Amino acid sequence: MKRYEGLFILNLAGKEDGVKDVVDRVSAEITALGGKLEAIQKMDRKPFARIADKRHTAGHYVNVVFQAAPATVAQVRAKFRHSDEVFRILISEASSNATAAPAPISAA
């Protein structure tokens, strides 16, 4: 099993309390497919830097760190690809210190 970090951008316009429900469904799907959750970080609603569609100007960001087989990642993407509540999914292989705070950037 490999370690992955998934960034889910949720499209919950007008349904601010629905974040917990969607996060619970994502967590349940990952564990149902044999994955093991390590951390879930709910971030605030953030505006998009570039707006491609006027209907979607911001999204709720949720970061999920989990361990799973590579085939599980494809199944998670397929499950939420056509969901109205999930706007974008970015899943990448995580380094061993993915849950640690990022190192500060020095201005040299």
E strand or H helix at 10: strand 2-10
pTM over the 0.95 mark: no
Q: Where are the domains of the chain?
A: 2-93
pLDDT given at position 98: 45
Superfamily of domain 2-93: Ribosomal protein S6/Translation elongation factor EF1B (3.30.70.60)
Which DSSP state fits 107?
Answer: -
3-state secondary structure 39-100: EEEEEEEEECCCCCECCECEEEEEEEEEEECHHHHHHHHHHHCCCCCEEEEEEEECCCCCCC
- pLDDT-flagged residues of the chain (< 50): 98-99, 103, 108
- CA-CA distance, 49 to 27, in Å (whole number)? 28
pLDDT given at position 58: 85
Beta-ladder partners of 3: 67
pLDDT given at position 11: 85
